[in-house]
Amino acid sequence: MKKQIFRAISAVALSVLLASLVLIVGVLHGYFQDRVLAELGRSAAYAARAVETEGAAYLERLNTPSNRITWVAQDGTVLYDSEEAPDGMENHAGRAEIREAFLTGRGTAVRQSDTLAQKTVYYALRLSDGSVLRLAETQYSVWMLVVQALQPVALVMALALCLALWLAGRLSARLVAPINAIDLSDPEAEPDYEELAPLVGRIRSQNREIRRQVDALRRRQEEFRAITGHMSEGLLLIDRETRLLSYNEAALRLLGAAEPAEEAPSVLTLNREAGFRRCVEESLSGHRREELLERGDLCCRVFANPVEEDGTLSGAVLILLDVTEKERRETLRREFTANVSHELKTPLTSILGTAEILENGMVRPEDIGHFAGNIHREAQRLIGLVNDIIKLSRLDEGGPVGQWETVSLRETAEAVLERLSLAAERRQVSLSLTGDCGPVRGVPQIVEEILYNLCDNAVAYNRPGGSVRVTLSSDGQGERAAVSDTGIGIPQEARERIFERFYRLDKSHPSGGTGLGLSIVKHGAAYLGVRIELESEPEKGSTFTLIFPKAPQETGGGEGAVCADPAVRR
C-alpha cells in the first residue's frame, strides 16, 4: 500500500511540476517577447529620429550598440549593419519585417536562428526618405529556457520525491493502522472506517459459517473414528497418489505397521509385501483386487476397491480381514478330511479283502471263524472311528452334547474301570481306584468319555504285569482325578502332539487306536472347563491329571438342571 501511495503522490507531484514549468516558461517567454518588441520599438523610434537628422554619421558613432542595427535602402540594399559589412549582405527587401515596414511604416518579425536554442526579434521602422531602420535582439528560445530550468527543476523533483516517500509512509501507516487493528478471526468491534463495515460484517458471518462447518466436520470425523476404531476389520482410505487419508487401529495391527509419524504418508510404507502392493496398484487403476497376506502366524485378506467420483477415479478403499482362525480351521479341516479318509480306508480295505476271499470259497471251513473274526474286528474299529469322529465334531461345533449335572467322579471312575476290567485282564494289567473328591459340575457323558479314554490308553500302552491307578483328591484349585500307569511313557517332544487328531506315536502299536482318543479328551476338557496336566517318564509310565473347577454350592436346582453358570462352562 505504501508503494501505491508513493507512486500516486510522486506521479501527481512530477506531472504538476512539469506542467507548471512548461506553462510558466511559455507565459513568461511570451511576456518577455512583447517587452522586447516594445523596447525595440522605443529604441528604433529614437534611432530613426537621430538617423533622419544626422544620417549615417549617427550610426557610425554607435560603435557597440546593445541591439543589432540594420539600415536598408528603399530597394532593399543594406546601407548599414552594426555587425556585418553591408557589401557582403544580401538584399533585405524580401524580409518580412522590412516588407511590412515599407508597406505600413512599421514591421515586426520573430525568426528562429540556426540553432533551435535561439531566436531573433526584429523591429523595423520606415524613415521619411523611404528607407527602413531595423533593430534586432536575440533571445533564448522557449525550449532552451525549459532545458536551462531543468537542473533546478531536477533538484525540486528530487525533493518532491523525498517528500512523496515520507508522505506515503506516513499516510499508508495512518490508513492501514485501523485496518490492521481489525481482528479478522473475531471482528466484533465496528471498524474505524465506515466503508469497511460491510466487509467486516461479511467476514463476521463467514467466520460463523466456517466455525459451524468445522464443528460439523469434526463431529463427523469423531463419529467415523469411533466407528472404525472399534471395528475388528482394518480400513484404509487412499487417494490417487497412494496417500493415506484415513485408517484405523485394526488396519495397522493387521499390516504390522506402526502409527505413521508424518501426515498422509504413502500407504505402501505400511507394508512392503508384493500382494499388498498389487492390491493398491490394481485398485488405483480402477480394478477390484483381493489378496491373502501372511505374516508369521497371522493371515489377513485384503479387499481393494476403486473409489470413483463423478466417473473419475479419486482413490481406493482397502478392507482387511483377520482370517487367521478361518485359515487355521480350513487347514485343520483339510488335514482331518484327509486323515479320516485314510483311517476309514484301512479297515474297509481289510474287510473287503477278507469278504472277497470268503466269497470266492477259497477258505477252508475250519478257517472261516478266523476270517469272520477279522471282519468283525475291522468293522468294530470302523464303528469306533465313526463314533469318535461324531463325538469330536459335536464337541467342535459346540452342539448339544448332553445336560450339565452334578457328577460324582468316584462313581464315574468306578464305572469306567468296570468297563475296562476285561481288557485289563487280557493284558495282565491291574486296575485300582484310591481317594475321593467332591462332586463336580459337568456333562456326565463327557466326564465319563474323558476318564474312559485316559484309562483305556493307560491299559493299552501298559506292559504285562503293569498297573493303572485312578487317584481322586481335592485341593484349593478344584477336584482332581489322576490316571497313572506303569506303561511305556511318552517322550518329552511328543507331549503336545499326542492331543492332535490322528496323532499316534507308534502306528504299529497293537492297541489299534484311532488316534482320536486324546483329541476327544482335550476338546471335552475344554468344553467342561477342565485343566489337563501330564507327567511322564519314558519306560516308567505316565500320569494324566484332570483338574475340575470346584462345583458351586447347590441352590436347590437339583440334579439334572442345565448349568448356565459361565464359570463352570467357561
Task: Name the minimum Å distance from CB 338 to ligand ADP.
Answer: 17
Single out the residue of 487, 524, 529, 549 in contact with ligand ADP (rule: CB under 6 A): 487
Q: Which is nearer to ligand ADP, 242 or 457 (CB)?
A: 457
Q: What are phi and psi of 82, to 5 degrees?
A: -70, -10
271 sits near ligand ADP (criterion: CB under 6 A): no
The SS3 assignment for 495 reads coil
CB of 462 to ligand ADP, least distance (A): 8
302 vs 468 by CB, closer to ligand ADP: 468
Classify burial at 259, counting beta carbons within 10 Å of its beta carbon; exposed 0-12, middle 13-18, buried 19 or more.
exposed
* Parallel, antiparallel or unpaired: strands 467-475 and 430-435: parallel
Q: Which residues in 542-561 contact ligand ADP (CB under 6 A)?
A: 542
Binding mask 514-533 for ligand ADP (x = CB under 6 A): xxxxxx--------------
Read off φ and ψ for residue 76, nearest 5 degrees.
100, -5
Say how far apart CA 515 and CA 500 lie, in whole Å: 8
Euclidean distance between CA atoms 481 and 533, whole angstroms = 10
CB of 451 to ligand ADP, least distance (A): 13
Candidates 28, 38, 338, 505; binder of ligand ADP (CB under 6 A) is 505
- Alpha helices (H) along 301-441: 324-359, 368-397, 409-426
Taking phi over 0 as left and psi of -120 to 50 as alpha, with beta for the rest, 522 belongs to alpha
Distance, in Å, from the CA atom of 336 to the CA atom of 202, rounded to the nearest integer, reads: 75
CB-nearest residue to ligand ADP = 513
Query: Is 513 a binder of ligand ADP (CB under 6 A)?
Result: yes
- DSSP lists the bridge partners of residue 137 as 121
Residue range at the interface with ligand ADP (CB under 6 A); choices 104-112, 153-161, 230-238, 483-491:
483-491
**Of residues 247 and 461, the one with the C-beta less far from ligand ADP:** 461
Segment 194-233, which members bind ligand ADP (CB under 6 A)?
none
What is the distance, to the nearest Å, from the Cα of residue 546 to the centroid of all Cα atoms in its chain? 55
339 touches ligand ADP (CB under 6 A): no
Q: How far is the CB of 343 from ligand ADP (least distance, A)?
A: 10
Strand partners, 69: 135
- Compare residues 260 and 489 and give the one whose CB is closer to ligand ADP: 489
Of 119-127, 152-160, 435-443, 502-510, the window that binds ligand ADP (rule: CB under 6 A) is 502-510
Least distance to ligand ADP from the beta carbon of 496, Å?
11
Return the amino acid letter for 505. Answer: L
Decide: is 493 part of the binding site for ligand ADP (CB under 6 A): no
Strands 289-295 vs 312-322: parallel, antiparallel or unpaired: unpaired
Which among 117-125, 303-311, 498-506, 526-534 is the span making contact with ligand ADP, rule CB under 6 A?
498-506
Phi-psi region of 264 (alpha: psi -120 to 50; beta: other; left: phi over 0): left
Complete DSSP assignment for 165-226: HHHHHHHHHHHHHHHHTS-TTS--SPPSSGGGHHHHHHHHHHHHHHHHHHHHHHHHHHHHHH
Interface pick for ligand ADP out of 461, 527, 530, 546 (rule CB under 6 A): 461
By CB under 6 A, the count of residues binding ligand ADP is 23
Smallest separation, CB 494 to ligand ADP (Å):
7
Q: Which residues, at least 6 apart from 460, have a Cβ–Cβ distance to it below 8 Å?
A: 423, 427, 509, 511, 513
Question: Which residues contact residue 45 at a Cβ distance below 8 angstroms, ignoring those fewer than 6 apart?
Answer: 125
Distances (CA, A) of 506 to 8, 282, 489, 509, 518: 107, 51, 12, 5, 15
CA separation (Å) from 366 to 351, 352, 357, 362, 370? 19, 20, 14, 12, 8
- The CA dihedral of 398, 399, 402, 403, to the nearest 10 degrees, is 70
Shortest separation between residue 416's beta carbon and ligand ADP, angstroms: 14
Helix and strand numbers, DSSP H then E, in the chain: 13, 17
Q: Shortest approach of ligand ADP to residue 340 CB, angstroms?
A: 14
In whole angstroms, the minimum distance from the beta carbon of 469 to ligand ADP comes to 12
**In this chain, which of 182, 238, 401, 490 binds ligand ADP, going by CB under 6 A?**
490
The piece of 175-183, 324-332, 370-378, 499-507 that touches ligand ADP (CB under 6 A) is: 499-507
Nearer Cβ to ligand ADP, position 82 or 339?
Answer: 339
**Closer residue to ligand ADP, CB minimum distance, 412 or 453:** 453
* Candidates 85-93, 304-312, 389-397, 501-509; binding stretch for ligand ADP (CB under 6 A): 501-509
Residues 397-456 that bind ligand ADP (CB under 6 A): 453
Of 506, 508, 558, 559, the one binding ligand ADP by CB under 6 A = 506
Q: Which residues bind ligand ADP (CB under 6 A)?
A: 453, 457-458, 461, 485, 487-490, 498, 503-506, 511, 513-519, 542
